[in-house]
Structure 1
Amino acid sequence: QQYKYTLLGPLSPARGSISSCLEWLKFIWNLNGYGVNSAKVLLYVSIAMDHIWMIRNLVVHDKHDIAACLRSISSSYSIFSEGLLPPPTSSRMNEWLTPPEGWVKVNFDIAMGSNAMMLASVARDHNG
């Protein structure tokens, strides 16, 4: 099957038709086989569909500027695509080394919510 290409890669079949949302989702998800990150495409398509509907309503009812609405698609994609990135790897030490003799090492952490707070601490000397 042939595919039309855009900046994001193959997005729609050149032949045949995709008649249901489920088929579209399967099509997008299977783009990984063509070297395309399907999660990014699915995110972009979802944002675009949401904005297209919003733009349609703004233009029909409020006579809104289409160009400004279209720019919001790109802006939203930039914001939401950050969630697709893998979490950064930590360069912190995973092992807590014992302090020198005569010293006490204290580690603590605090978590705060709107109605509560929790404090936890660990203290140890050179013996552990």
Structure 2
Amino acid sequence: MSGVLQSFRKLPLLENKLLIGNPDLVFLVVPCIYSTLETTLMQTKRHKTSPTCMQMDLSVAYRSLLNCTCEHKNIPISCWLASFVKHAQKIGGTDPVVRFFRCVGELEFMGVVKAASYRNRSAVRVALLPTSFAF
């Protein structure tokens, strides 16, 4: 019976062709999108390539969202906006409220946040929970 039932790793056709057991190789072939997205959003370095630092706004918006998540289940947009304005870098001639709502739209498009309910559109809920709260 053992000659008939063999492990799929020992089949001559599949021998040394399957990525099993090595998580680094599996991650290279099948990347974890959520952890990559979270790592990108949690960055703290400022990019000097952009004079307006718009790519940092997403990171600041995500961090301020996580700060508000500790206090509320459904985060009021006014609370999130106040936290964003307090931490956002000032850019001459650009309203921080406009920058905030641009970030809210992008985070909603990525699936990180969604409206708290159909009737309550003045609050958001985190749809993509972070793996850690390391601040």
TM-score (norm 1): 0.28
TM-score (norm 2): 0.27
Write 1 or 2 for the structure with the bigger share of strand. 1
Query: Which of structures 1 and 2 has the bigger CA Rg?
Result: 1
